[in-house]
Amino acid sequence: MTKYKEYFQKMVDTNKKLFDDFARLHANYGMDNDKYQEEFNNEGEKILKVIHEWENRLCAHSEKAGYANYTGNLVEKFQEEIKNHFPLIDHIGIIVKKFSLKKISLN
């Protein structure tokens, strides 16, 4: 197993409940994003913190091993792995403002 996949799996296993809950929310958000946008943003913020923490661990491990030149590619692959499991993760933080028209009376 490649290093980035191994770190992804460790991240998910270590934070199993958080990722299981997010997976359910992710599925619900995919079906009705207007209804779940606020909850998706709130829970997604927690997920992103965990992802960035593990991303830093992955890079730090590679830099210590002398592969600092390859950490950019490693991060991209790690992010791709995340997007394979959670394709809508880039929608975290979207602010949706409802559009409404005021009625005009022509008296």
**How confident is the model over 42-55, as a mean pLDDT?**
95
* % residues pLDDT > 70 (the chain): 91
Task: Kindly report the backbone phi and psi dihedral angles of residue 105, in degrees, each rounded to the nearest multiple of 5, phi listed first.
Answer: -95, 135
How far from the centroid of its chain's Cα atoms is residue 41's Cα?
A: 10
pLDDT tens for 5-27 read: 999 999 999 999 999 999 999 99
Instruction: Fill in the amino acid letter for 72.
Output: G
Residue 90: DSSP 8-state: G
Mean pLDDT taken over the chain: 88
Q: What is the pTM of this model?
A: 0.80
Rounded to whole angstroms, the Cα distance separating 81 from 19 reads 14
CA dihedral 52, 53, 55, 56 (to 10 degrees): 120
pLDDT tens for 62-87 read: 666 666 667 778 889 999 999 999 99
* Tokens 């270590």 found at: 14
Vertex 22 angle, CA 37 and 95, to 5°: 20
